[in-house]
Structure 1
Amino acid sequence: MKYKDLIKKMTLEEKASLMSGKDFWQTMDIERLGVNSIFLADGPHGIRKQAEAADHLGLNESLPATCFPTAATVANSWNTELGEKIGQYLGEEAVAQKVNVLLGPGINMKRDPLCGRNFEYFSEDPHHAGKMAAAYIRGIQSHGISACVKHFAVNNQEERRMSIDTIVDERTLREIYLTAFEIAVKEGNTKTVMSSYNMLNGAYTNENIHLMREILRDEWNYDGVVVTDWGGSNDRVAGLIAGNELEMPTTAGETNKEIVEAIRNNKIQEKFLDEAVDRLLDLVFNTEEVFKNPQKDFDVKEHHRVAQQVAEESIVLLKNEGNILPLKKDKKVAVIGDFAKQARYQGAGSSIVNPTILDNTLDCLEESELTNVGFEPGFERYGKKSKKKIEQACALAKKADVVLLYIGLDEATEAEGLDRQNMKIPQNQIDLIDTLYEVNPNIVAILSCGSAVEMPWIGKVKGLLHGYLSGQAGAKAMLRVMTGEVNPSGKLAETYPIRYEDTPAYHQFPGKEVSVEYREAMYIGYRYYDTANVNVLFPFGYGLSYTTFEYSDIEVNKDGVTFTIKNNGSVAGMETAQLYVGSKSEDIFRPNKELKGFVKVFLQPGESKSVTISFDERTFRYFNVKTNKWEVETADYNIMIGTSSADIRLEASIFVEGTGAVLPYDQDKLVSYYAGKPNKVGKEEFENLLGRKVPVSTWDRTKRLGYNDTIAQCQYAKGAFARFAFKLIKFSHWFLRKIGKRETANLIMMSVYHMPFRGMSRMTGGVINMSMLDGILMIVNGQFFKGIKHFLKERKKMLKVAKDIN
């Protein structure tokens, strides 16, 4: 241990006090020993350091900071150098605001398009997400502070996220859901990891020995700090044993006492606490070094320019019929769509940033050379139909050569804590498209949303630019792409299916009660569509340019693949070449192809470049569940270079000598997986893959409710008061949506309806302790007066203790 001598000077109580927060955002200090508090702040795409009352839901305004494009947006740049640059600027702003740990990036896989937090995650592919995350981390930590990669792990739905049990087989866990974290740890050298809320195969991730000790610590040799997601601690002692250093936010010392009592009662060895304290001290001392020097403010305008550059390189051109783009300077344009006036530029929840500057499309149009004949909102932002708005929009469209139509998803549809209900954009926007098409078919749609949507309307637009959630400078960036000042180079980091029913997890998303089963295994995203031959709207890696690129001269050897790219067009541009690998053997089921590398190159018109993508330790490996380790199968492998997963330009093959491991599967028992069509796997076949029985996925409606049951389960509680409270919550949610207060309604679902009872204690900073919660549960379980008496008694006891301390 690095700080053995310092730890010896601490009392048991002092050591335990370091294991949970001092308040909502700061760690505990020990003044007499020179151990200071450090500050943690949200910051996947901008610093969210709250100036007033703290919360984890983005309710209270934070200090101004640059709002960079979200991770889902930057993922489309496929540019790790750009990712590192964003990290550097985020790190600089964190230092300026005296933030020691920046809570990001988020790298959970996009298992399903409806996950409400997909806007905050990079990709459906672990290699892509891991490489982008490692770049961010290197940039952030170049300033001496810490990044915090999250949410570890397999947190792929927001509904019931604090209690859902994710059931996934070991191979899929390793290859799909942990690989990005492995890259972030090994190549990014992240100093902090955030554990997720959910359970994984029966144990909360924060207490999961297999995940936290055997994989993270032992296999990956991670020696940094693990922090809980806010309110994400279940059993504090079990978390400590698994290797969790820090519980956030504060529990006013309640869980510290649990640690002290466990050590004194010999339930846990004190060495576990000492190890955790040592790692936490290392984070504290290392991240406070930078603050010993005078801090300067960051250059707001320079950071804004960088945010614009990032947005420009992340915009994806999805359709360009008749080369309607770039727009000619002599064209008259009509700007239609509420998002042109009030941009949708970031997500909702804990990642909300208070931007330093916010570009507006209508203002930026005045600076461009386009002739704007006017603006009409065209639709109500939150879906209410308005015939008048459509009529006014159509009247304007008739006056223009080209309609610039700004559409997308609103802030209440994509939000932390909630999953989307469908993949559609609001019907009132589709109605607008249908009507506009009749009066002016020259429509260029500009889409703003953080995740995949269905596009049954795509035949009625000639141009389609997807900006995702492009940050505070996104409006100007989009206009520069439209006018040809910037040649679009973004490519999708997720597949766009034709309809939601085509998605591999359609029958298993989300888990509604106890658990969610990942029956599709590794076949998520393009791995499924390409293997099962399912047609998609836009494949993974897809994106158009104002120029064209030619691929040639592929050569493969044991170290990698080399080929040539030429810009055949008349304008300079950037192209992302993607390396996919597929095994020709049928002994072990695999997707047809998997991304194993990518590179982005800039080429002048007519210029050619030789490009090399190297193989690495992950290129040919698979996880063998019988040997319980990574193996390489002896086989011929297809080496494919493409502009997307569906557009392979060059192919070659290479023979690879494997490790000779025993075959892990009985093909006869895994027919769907070997056929590559696992979208309707039965329970028995999934259990054969898991190697065990799946748990019962529905609630036991006869049992007494406990700490980890949710408010939603009060609908069948024994206590009449609890059942009435449930009905009141349901009515409040319905009523708020009815009167248009959708964000408030969402808040009820997120922070009340799906909250486990223990969250009342873990998220209130000690206002309600676990003893008081016992009284609440007595009420819920039908012992109303006994519960009230117990609650008041424990509250009085807590207040007396607090008074004695003060």
Structure 2
Amino acid sequence: MLKKCIAVAAIFFAAAAVNAQEKPVYLDDSKPLNLRVEDALQRMTLEEKIAFIHAQSKFSAPGVPRLGIPEVWTTDGPHGIRPEVKWDEWDQAGWTNDRCTAFPALTCLAATWNKDMSSLYGKSIGEEARFRNKNILLGPGVNIYRSPLNGRNFEYMGEDPFLAGQMVVPYIKGVQSNGVAACVKHFALNNQETNRNTVNVVVDDRALYEIYLPAFKAAVQQGGAWSIMGSYNKYKGQQNCHNQYLLNDILKGEWGFEGVVVSDWGGVHDGMQPIFNGLDLEFGTWTDGLNTGNTNAYDNYYLAKPYLDKIKSGKVGTKELDDKVRRVLRLCFLTTLDRNRPYGSFATPEHALAGRKIAEEGIVLLQNNNNLLPIDLNKTKRIAVIGENAIKAMTVGGGSSSLKANYEVSPLDGIKNIVGNKAEVVYARGYVGDPNSNYNGVVFGADLTEKRPAEELLAEAVKLAKSADIVIFVGGLNKSPYQDDEGYDRKEYALPYNQDKVVSELAKANKNLVFVNISGNAVAMPWVKQVPAIVQGWYLGTETGNALARVLVGDVNPSGKLPFTFPVSLADNPAKAVGEFPGGDEVHYTEGIFVGYRYADKQNIKPLFPFGHGLSYTSFSYGKVSVDKSKVNADDKVTFSVKVKNTGKRDGAEIVQLYISDLKSSLTRPVKELKGFEKVYLKAGEEKTVSITVDKEALSYFDDKKHAWVAEPGDFEAIIGASSADVKNKVKFTLK
């Protein structure tokens, strides 16, 4: 803390000194950004430039105190602002005012299929980061959901590159409207936690460009992201935090990225590659990114004294150094040196309400046989809530996204809150999973220690289920190792802690059973035909229980849709069936472009629940899709329109999905690919026309022989669906 106070004082007095004289260009915000950058750059000493591009603590870089350029402070996201840790340690700093709003996980945000919700999310979390005076929010994540066993899938936006790309852009703009840089991660091909620091990904160029890069490209070219985080893994044998192909050739070369490439903590491994291969700002070297680390190692980072020594000895020049410094200076001028930067706000009721709204729109009703949901509180006298996840805190754990939340409403408490005295709510544990409620020094939630044997817990739950009008089992995964947790992949597709037996026994005891799956991943459901109602509940943050309960009783009509496929078994997942997961020293993406629903379509596999699936408490009818031009040129845009009507008795929202099919191609293409979507809100009986416009990009594939995107003339089909498997109608058109 003393170090930080001295640094702040130095910045203040330095700024006062330069302002007392004629104002330098770099402090004049009326001047063009590039002139300010160049002016500041030419005033910096070699030593100041070197200090500027590497950490001085676990989460900060020093800035340039002599010139009044403040420190650069980063914070983990992407679901909330990480609690403060000590200057040089992972241990908690012991602050009493760093309890944040916990927002829903990004899988939930993606499940809203609502760009307005993404904007609200980014704006709200950006306000919290700004209030804590952070320059860089380490998020959002857009790595593709390749396998349901990836322990970090809950931090990402699903299996489809178009959906992830469309949802990440408003998030970035929302964050950066607060003068805080979004740091989009993890670039790229970071699709597993097993051997994450060493595994080399082998993937063909077509899959790289069509599946794994588009969301990052959208983040850069449409979202204007001010920073990008490299990933731990390798591609073409080079670490991705200093990878010539990804960072220089593609990111900065092909896409024209002007921002800062930040290393992941522990992601820098080589003496020369970080200098030449695109890394700009080095953090966390010699740590594992979570726990271990070398104390006061900062001067010996690869971009620190070793780099300075190489320059002074003539082994390397300063061209690369100046490029790195320019990029970090640009980020500083956009954040801490922006005089119009707003002040932000922290852990406010407005942010909690925003989080609840996002959660409500992201919850997915997967199955609702016999219209068991919503719960009719006028006819229900006793509700049995069963399952550890009904009482377990989920804002702690999971790795670097673990939070010290201001509060977290459990599903059980949320149900009690909304039911009130209208019905009796009773609870039984049912099973024991992980009783811990702490991570990295943050202890949050009840002590869940349980000494009773599994048989006794199950018997208690079954007895309770028999006495209830309706049973709500809240289970799924948690944020413990080998589940939804950074650093670990899942070991199996099945539910942990013998939950399948509990669910089956409850289904025998009471036919009115609701299964609420709290997870960021798909899970196997061998009992799916025994359970009439299934809800995907995600990790919903601070307002978890209130959001979930409002959907269960019908105060909110569910409108979320799945951002990834639920396969029946792991054998139906392409990373298992065709490719490798997790591989050894190398992992081969042999499935190529056929990820998620693309693979299910190709193999004609019926998923447990398809990509884009989600039910409602009302019903919708679709009219015939029309096209504004049946024949188009490559430079034309084409608009498809369809009437959608709410044919039920409740107000609700439907997500209209547009897929494009190339009917004849010189290269093998997926049966269809998502290229547009729109969430439309309809009152009972209301009808609206939904129009979606696409351009040449939507018709193109990546030709790896030409290393170019190609829109091949010929016949195409526009497919309107309520999911990837629920096709409503089609229309043909021709690209001339």
Shorter-chain TM-score above 0.5: yes
Matched to 2:430, the amino acid is G
8 A contact 1:168–1:201 mirrored in 2: no
After superposition, the C-alpha distances for 1:118-171 in whole angstroms (9 at most, x for unaligned) are 010011000101111111101101111111100000110111111110011111
1:253 corresponds to: 299
Q: TM-score normalized by structure 1?
A: 0.79
1:170 to 191, 205, 212: 205
Answer yes or no: is 1:71 the counterpart of 2:123: no
After superposition, the C-alpha distances for 1:574-615 in whole angstroms (9 at most, x for unaligned) are 110111111111421111011111110100011111111110
1:287 to 335, 339, 342: 335
Answer yes or no: is 1:561 the counterpart of 2:640: yes
Matched to 2:281, the amino acid is L
2:589 corresponds to: 518
Query: In structure 1, the residue corresponding to 2:498 is in which secondary structure?
Result: helix
Alpha-carbon distance between aligned partners in 2 of 1:70 and 1:177, rounded to the nearest angstrom: 20
Change (3 A) 1:237 1:614: same
Q: TM-score normalized by structure 2?
A: 0.86
Shift of 1:293: 7.2
1:131 corresponds to: 166
Residue ranges of structure 1 left out of the alignment (5+ in a row): 658-806
Q: Which moved more, 1:362-371 or 1:291-300?
A: 291-300
Instruction: Tell me how large the CA RMSD over aligned residues is.
Output: 2.1
8 A contact 2:642–2:691 mirrored in 1: yes
Alpha-carbon distance between aligned partners in 2 of 1:111 and 1:355, rounded to the nearest angstrom: 30
Matched to 2:406, the amino acid is T
Query: In structure 2, the residue corresponding to 1:274 is in which secondary structure?
Result: helix
8 A contact 1:373–1:400 mirrored in 2: no
Query: In structure 1, the residue corresponding to 2:256 is in which secondary structure?
Result: coil
1:317 corresponds to: 365
Identity of paired residues, percent?
38
After superposition, the C-alpha distances for 1:63-103 in whole angstroms (9 at most, x for unaligned) are 21110100011111000110010100001111111111101
2:447 corresponds to: none
1:527 to 593, 598, 617: 598
Write the mapping of 1:412-451 to structure 2, written as runs, cut at 5 A.
412=480, 413-451=483-521
Matched to 1:492, the amino acid is L
Change (3 A) 1:505 1:316: same
8 A contact 2:335–2:341 mirrored in 1: no
Change (3 A) 1:490 1:502: same
8 A contact 1:58–1:348 mirrored in 2: no
2:267 corresponds to: 232
1:725 corresponds to: none
Answer yes or no: is 1:632 the counterpart of 2:682: no
Shift of 1:7: 2.1
Query: In structure 1, the residue corresponding to 2:366 is in which secondary structure?
Result: strand
8 A contact 1:77–1:314 mirrored in 2: yes
Matched to 2:57, the amino acid is D
Answer yes or no: is 1:40 the counterpart of 2:74: yes
8 A contact 1:373–1:396 mirrored in 2: no
1:538 corresponds to: 609
2:689 to 593, 606, 610: 610
2:255 corresponds to: 220
Answer yes or no: is 1:28 the counterpart of 2:51: no
Matched to 1:371, the amino acid is A
Q: How many residues align?
A: 657
1:4 corresponds to: 38
1:372 corresponds to: 424
Write the mapping of 1:661-680 to structure 2, written as runs, cut at 5 A.
none
Alpha-carbon distance between aligned partners in 2 of 1:615 and 1:83, rounded to the nearest angstrom: 21
Query: In structure 1, the residue corresponding to 2:146 is in which secondary structure?
Result: coil
After superposition, the C-alpha distances for 1:337-366 in whole angstroms (9 at most, x for unaligned) are 111122435661000111112113333333
After superposition, the C-alpha distances for 1:693-716 in whole angstroms (9 at most, x for unaligned) are xxxxxxxxxxxxxxxxxxxxxxxx
Alpha-carbon distance between aligned partners in 2 of 1:233 and 1:335, rounded to the nearest angstrom: 48
Change (3 A) 1:19 1:299: closer
2:5 corresponds to: none
Matched to 1:459, the amino acid is K
Shift of 1:237: 3.2
1:589 corresponds to: 668
Alpha-carbon distance between aligned partners in 2 of 1:545 and 1:594, rounded to the nearest angstrom: 24
1:340 corresponds to: 390
Change (3 A) 1:266 1:513: farther
1:109 corresponds to: 144
1:712 corresponds to: none
Query: In structure 2, the residue corresponding to 1:459 is in which secondary structure?
Result: coil
Shift of 1:511: 3.8
Shift of 1:266: 4.4
Structure with a larger share of its residues in helix:
1
Answer yes or no: is 1:360 the counterpart of 2:439: no
Shift of 1:512: 4.0
Shift of 1:252: 1.9
Alpha-carbon distance between aligned partners in 2 of 1:458 and 1:568, rounded to the nearest angstrom: 28
Shift of 1:305: 1.3
Shift of 1:206: 2.4
Answer yes or no: is 1:147 the counterpart of 2:182: yes
Alpha-carbon distance between aligned partners in 2 of 1:296 and 1:517, rounded to the nearest angstrom: 45
Matched to 1:189, the amino acid is G
Alpha-carbon distance between aligned partners in 2 of 1:484 and 1:54, rounded to the nearest angstrom: 49
1:656 corresponds to: 735
Matched to 1:48, the amino acid is R
Change (3 A) 1:55 1:188: farther
Shift of 1:509: 3.5
2:192 to 157, 163, 168: 157
Residue ranges of structure 2 left out of the alignment (5+ in a row): 1-33, 286-296, 436-451, 630-636
Matched to 1:210, the amino acid is Y
Change (3 A) 1:463 1:60: farther
8 A contact 2:138–2:185 mirrored in 1: yes
Query: In structure 1, the residue corresponding to 2:722 is in which secondary structure?
Result: strand
Answer yes or no: is 1:503 the counterpart of 2:573: yes
Query: In structure 1, the residue corresponding to 2:185 is in which secondary structure?
Result: strand
Change (3 A) 1:561 1:269: farther
Shift of 1:214: 1.8
Shift of 1:4: 2.5
Query: In structure 2, the residue corresponding to 1:478 is in which secondary structure?
Result: helix
8 A contact 1:165–1:199 mirrored in 2: yes
Query: In structure 1, the residue corresponding to 2:520 is in which secondary structure?
Result: coil
Alpha-carbon distance between aligned partners in 2 of 1:126 and 1:346, rounded to the nearest angstrom: 29
8 A contact 2:140–2:168 mirrored in 1: yes
Shift of 1:106: 0.4
Shift of 1:267: 4.1
Write the mapping of 1:455-534 to structure 2, written as runs, cut at 5 A.
455-506=525-576, 508-534=579-605
2:401 to 342, 351, 357: 351
Alpha-carbon distance between aligned partners in 2 of 1:80 and 1:290, rounded to the nearest angstrom: 27
Matched to 2:656, the amino acid is A
After superposition, the C-alpha distances for 1:556-576 in whole angstroms (9 at most, x for unaligned) are 234221111111111000110
8 A contact 2:85–2:91 mirrored in 1: no
Matched to 2:433, the amino acid is R
Query: In structure 1, the residue corresponding to 2:661 is in which secondary structure?
Result: strand
8 A contact 2:413–2:545 mirrored in 1: no
Query: In structure 1, the residue corresponding to 2:211 is in which secondary structure?
Result: helix
8 A contact 1:240–1:276 mirrored in 2: no
8 A contact 1:176–1:522 mirrored in 2: yes
Change (3 A) 1:49 1:547: same
Shift of 1:296: 6.2
Matched to 2:573, the amino acid is T
Change (3 A) 1:100 1:411: same
Query: In structure 2, the residue corresponding to 1:289 is in which secondary structure?
Result: coil
2:445 corresponds to: none
Alpha-carbon distance between aligned partners in 2 of 1:57 and 1:173, rounded to the nearest angstrom: 38
Shift of 1:200: 0.6
Shift of 1:411: 2.3
